[in-house]
Chain A
Amino acid sequence: METNLGEYRETVHYNNHSGVRAICSDCHVPHEWQYKMKAKIMAVKDVYHEVLGTISTPEKYEERRLEMASAVWTKMKASDSRECRNCHAFEYMDFTIQETRAAQNHQKAIDTGMTCIDCHQGIAHDLAPGYLEEYNHVVKKLAAQPHQGPIDVAGIKSFLGTQSE
């Protein structure tokens, strides 16, 4: 867990102009009690693999990078980026002071019911090759499940730019 920590320390969530820092748990541990407990129980797997040394070398880490990222994307996509929205919410955004490009895309995201992770992959950790394909795969897998809410998969797919099925 040192590799991902090092990568995170290069990003805006660690050092930025406003001096607000989001630490690991701000993004990876939910605030709500029952989800928090669930996350902590599921984290047993992470501890197990850390002790086992599954990602103990840079080579091993690179090999598993996409798989691990995919697991987190699945979690974030399924929860509508709940942890992001503890700090960043569409309701609190002033589009007039955002970069034009960002403002346009955020408003488009509201209209099409997209979620943060649909665009913001790799904001705190490095991305593996083929990450966009993997993310599309995650979206498709989640959409295939019956209990999902009204997520506009077609809209997200077209935004991500996969015309081919």
Chain B
Amino acid sequence: MKLHVLAVASALAATLTFAGFVGAQQSGGVTSLRNAGIDETNAIEDVYRQDEGREPRNYRQQPPIVPHSIEQYQIDLRTNQCLTCHDWTTAGDRGAPTLSMTHYLDRQGTQLDTVAGTRWFCNQCHVPQADAPALVGNTFKPSSN
């Protein structure tokens, strides 16, 4: 008899806890990552193409933008494929612009033979040029011109 009471109590406890979870979830108001309801269809983003030619810099310190596709380039901890052509050891023969020599300086300003770790991930600053509108609007104006 005692066992029976215990079983009923534990079943009740489990049910109530579960109900509590459900209630908590419903009251929280879930927002989906895709910013649309489950039954709505998201519009596909436009596909932007590469801009031809080499774009001039818009302001003095702008990192030059990349005039070619970098779609499948591996830039990770192991390998940086951009350096296959743009490293100082290869740039001459491959007819590619060499990295700026500032990219071979480490934090302390020591000249290195290989690209500094702080400059390893090219696409943090350099992006391919495309006919796409700016992702974020801004009112930036260069100091000269």
- Which one, A101, A131, A158, A161, contacts B79 given CB within 8 A? A131
Q: Residues of A contacting B81 with CB < 8 Å? A: 122, 127
Q: Judge whether A12 and B72 touch: CB under 8 Å.
A: yes
Q: When A11-B72, A99-B68, A160-B90 are in contact, do A126 and B79 touch as well, CB less than 8 Å?
A: yes
Which one of A11, A126, A127 has the highest number of Cβ atoms from chain B below 10 Å of its Cβ? A127
- Which one, B78, B89, B95, contacts A104 given CB within 8 A? B95
Interface size on B, residues (CB 8 A): 19
Measured CB to CB, the residues of A under 8 A from B are: 11-12, 62, 99, 101, 104-105, 122-123, 126-129, 131-132, 158-162
Q: Residues of B contacting A160 with CB < 8 Å? A: 90, 93
- Which one, B68, B71, B76, B78, contacts A12 given CB within 8 A? B71
- Which one, A62, A105, A127, A158, contacts B74 given CB within 8 A? A127
Q: When A12-B72, A104-B95 are in contact, do A132 and B78 touch as well, CB less than 8 Å?
A: no
Q: Residues of B contacting A132 with CB < 8 Å? A: 84, 90
B94 within 8 A of A: yes
A101 to B86, CA, bound (A): 13
B92 within 8 A of A: yes
Q: Residues of A contacting B76 with CB < 8 Å? A: 126
Chain B residue with the shortest CB-CB distance to A155: B93
A57 to B65, CA, bound (A): 39
B92 to chain A, nearest CB (A): 7
A160 to B81, CA, bound (A): 13
Q: When A160-B90, A161-B93 are in contact, do A126 and B71 touch as well, CB less than 8 Å?
A: no
Given contact pairs A99-B50, A161-B93, a sample of 10 additional A-B residue pairs in the complex whose CB atoms are under 8 Å apart: A62-B78, A122-B74, A127-B74, A127-B78, A128-B79, A129-B79, A159-B93, A159-B94, A161-B89, A162-B89
B116 to chain A, nearest CB (A): 16
3 closest Cβ contacts across the A-B interface? A161-B90, A127-B79, A161-B93
A-B contacts, 21 listed (Cβ < 8 Å): A12-B71, A99-B68, A99-B69, A101-B68, A105-B94, A122-B74, A122-B81, A123-B72, A126-B74, A127-B74, A127-B78, A127-B79, A128-B78, A129-B78, A129-B79, A132-B90, A159-B93, A160-B93, A161-B90, A161-B91, A161-B94
Chain B residue with the shortest CB-CB distance to A13: B72
A101 to B84, CA, bound (A): 14
A127 to B83, CA, bound (A): 13
A105 to B71, CA, bound (A): 18
Q: Residues of A contacting B50 with CB < 8 Å? A: 99
A128 to B79, CA, bound (A): 6
A159 to B85, CA, bound (A): 10
Residues 89-132 of B contacting A (Cβ, < 8 Å): 89-95
A62 to B92, CA, bound (A): 31
